[in-house]
């Protein structure tokens, strides 16, 4: 019994040390918020089109049954990282034939249409979420955020922040392929 | 001390403490019904702002915190109970949105560890005290009669020696 007790401090030290090592892992982001939507149907919303932009708005029902996955990107003209991400999304739409829908989050229609005129519009549909209510339904914590919805209308992936850098881009493309993306020009 | 100085000091102390009681709630958000507003404040204090993360939505100035404050008030006006409001938020943002983690399988460790550590500490102290007591008891053995006599002789000789 006494011998056994001698090992108790050692065991406690190993447990605390192991926990600390786990907490210090380089790829662990303690501020990342797990999404509630993964493997669940896309939330309910119905967004009108942005005034002055030619593509239509969209609702939950438009996400399912299009024949492939849809990349839903939450963006705003006032969001600087969105501008950086815009080129990546454009390439996804043109090169990888990704169907791209945009949620224009808390943005003035004039500002949004000027922004798209300036940078080009890679979106097949854009819904105006002027009061940010659809953003809350999606559980976003900021802009940009991007979701993948598969042909059954199920959310399969969430990316927080801009899709920049090779690693993020590959992860999103990989997730799109898993969700059934086909017809890439590569 | 001058009474006026004391008053000035107290008044400035009170003014300096004001920010402690300030929420981020803006006048246009406040509900007309004071009971509902009070409930909204209580709920908001326990809802995490998802952008600033370690602030409640009651004290955060972030845009999404304001949206969530308004949402909480809308749900209350629509007749939701406090628990229903929390459920509504958790359905969208997960348990992460609660500043008070719920009691469930994933959080048993979180809630019970402090008590476990206190228990281990308490048991260790009790064990040490018990050991100490038994040690004391062992050393409290009385001297035998012969030893008492010998001790008495030594003490007597000592006192005689110092007196002479």
Q: What is the CATH number of the domain that holds A68?
A: 3.40.30.10
The token pair at A24 is 């210090």
3-state secondary structure of B100: coil
- Helical H runs in chain A? 2-6, 8-23, 80-95, 109-119, 133-137, 165-178
Cβ–Cβ below 8 Å for A36 and B67: no
User: What pLDDT shows up at residue A158?
Assistant: 93
User: What pLDDT shows up at residue A182?
Assistant: 82
Domain total for chain A? Answer: 1
3-state secondary structure of B58: coil
Instruction: Give CA–CA dist A42/A44, Å, rounded.
Output: 7
Cβ–Cβ below 8 Å for B92 and A33: no
Mutate to test the interface with A, among B49, B67, B87 (most CBs of A within 10 A): B67
Instruction: Give CA–CA dist B51/B40, Å, rounded.
Output: 20
Q: B100 CA to chain A: closest CA distance, Å?
A: 16
Q: Could you tell me which residues come within 8 angstroms of residue A156 by beta carbon, excluding any fewer than 6 positions away?
A: A38, A39, A69, A148, A149, A150, A175, A178, A179
Q: In terms of residue numbers, what domain contains A110?
A: 35-178
- A2 in a structural domain: no
Instruction: Give CA–CA dist B93/B82, Å, rounded.
Output: 17
Q: A185 CA to chain B: closest CA distance, Å?
A: 36
Instruction: Please check whether residue A35 touches B, CB under 8 A.
Output: yes
pLDDT at B21 over 70: no
User: What pLDDT shows up at residue B162?
Assistant: 56
Report the topology of domain B3-102.
Helicase, Ruva Protein; domain 3 (1.10.8)
Instruction: Please check whether residue A144 touches B, CB under 8 A.
Output: no
* Residue A101 φ/ψ, nearest 5 degrees: -110, 145
Average pLDDT per 10 consecutive residues for chain A, totaling 186 residues: 82 92 83 81 95 94 91 96 95 94 95 95 96 92 92 93 93 93 71
Instruction: Give CA–CA dist A93/A75, Å, rounded.
Output: 16
Q: Which of B50, B90, B91 sits opposite A33 (nearest CB)?
A: B50
CA A51, chain centre distance (Å):
24
Q: Is the confidence metric ipTM above 0.90 for this complex?
A: no
The token pair at B161 is 């020696």
Per residue in B84-134, pLDDT (tens digit) is 999 999 999 988 899 998 898 888 988 999 999 999 999 999 999 998 888
- A184 in a structural domain: no
Q: Could you tell me which residues come within 8 angstroms of residue A34 by beta carbon, excluding any fewer than 6 positions away?
A: B94, B96
Other C-beta atoms lying within 10 Å of the C-beta of residue A153: 17
Cβ–Cβ below 8 Å for B92 and A136: yes
The token pair at B13 is 């102390």
- A21 in a structural domain: no
pLDDT at B163 over 90: no
3-state secondary structure of A138: coil
Per residue in B37-85, pLDDT (tens digit) is 999 999 999 999 888 878 899 988 888 899 999 999 999 999 999 999 9
Structural domain spans, chain B: 3-102, 107-163
Other C-beta atoms lying within 10 Å of the C-beta of residue B160: 9
Instruction: Give CA–CA dist A133/A48, Å, rounded.
Output: 13
Quick check: A57 and A45 in contact, CB under 8 A? Answer: no
Instruction: Give CA–CA dist B24/B63, Å, rounded.
Output: 11
Q: Which pLDDT band, with edges at 50, 70 and 90, does B5 fall under?
A: confident
Closest Cα partner for B28 from B37, B39, B19?
A: B37
Cβ–Cβ below 8 Å for B50 and A141: yes
Mutate to test the interface with B, among A132, A138, A145 (most CBs of B within 10 A): A132
Mutate to test the interface with A, among B50, B60, B87 (most CBs of A within 10 A): B50
User: What pLDDT shows up at residue B164?
Assistant: 47
- A18 in a structural domain: no
User: What pLDDT shows up at residue A4?
Assistant: 82
């Amino acid at each position: 019994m006494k011998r056994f007790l001698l090992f108790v401090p050692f065991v406690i030290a190993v447990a605390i040390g192991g926990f600390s090592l786990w907490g210090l892992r380089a790829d662990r982001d303690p501020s990342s918020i797990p999404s509630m939507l993964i493997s669940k149907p896309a939330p309910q919303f119905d967004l009108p089109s942005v005034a002055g932009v030619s593509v239509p708005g969209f609702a939950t029902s438009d996400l399912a049954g299009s024949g492939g996955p849809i990349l839903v990107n939450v963006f705003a003209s006032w969001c600087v990282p969105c501008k950086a991400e815009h080129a990546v999304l454009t390439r996804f739409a043109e090169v990888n034939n990704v169907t791209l829908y945009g949620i224009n989050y808390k943005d003035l229609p004039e500002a949004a249409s000027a922004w798209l005129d300036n940078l080009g519009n890679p979106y097949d549909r854009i819904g105006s979420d002027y009061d940010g209510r659809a953003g809350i339904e999606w559980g976003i914590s900021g802009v940009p955020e991007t979701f993948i919805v598969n042909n059954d209308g199920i959310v399969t992936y969430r990316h927080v922040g801009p899709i920049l850098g090779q690693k993020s881009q590959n992860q999103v493309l990989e997730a799109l392929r898993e969700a059934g993306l086909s017809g890439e020009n590569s | 001390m001058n009474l006026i100085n004391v008053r000035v000091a107290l008044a400035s102390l009170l003014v300096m403490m004001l920010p402690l009681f300030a929420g981020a709630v803006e006048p246009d958000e406040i509900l007309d019904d004071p009971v509902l507003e009070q409930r909204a404040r209580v709920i908001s204090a326990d809802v995490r702002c998802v952008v600033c993360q370690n602030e409640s939505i009651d004290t955060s100035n972030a845009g999404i915190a304001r949206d969530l404050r308004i949402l909480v008030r809308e749900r209350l006006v629509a007749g939701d109970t406090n628990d229903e409001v929390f459920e509504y938020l958790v359905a969208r943002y997960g348990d992460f949105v609660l500043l008070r983690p719920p009691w469930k399988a994933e959080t048993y460790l979180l809630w019970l560890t402090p008590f476990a550590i206190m228990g281990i500490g308490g048991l260790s102290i009790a064990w040490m005290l018990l050991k100490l007591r038994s040690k004391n008891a062992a050393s409290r053995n009385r001297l035998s009669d012969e030893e008492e006599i010998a001790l008495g002789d030594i003490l007597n000789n000592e006192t005689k020696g110092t007196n002479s």
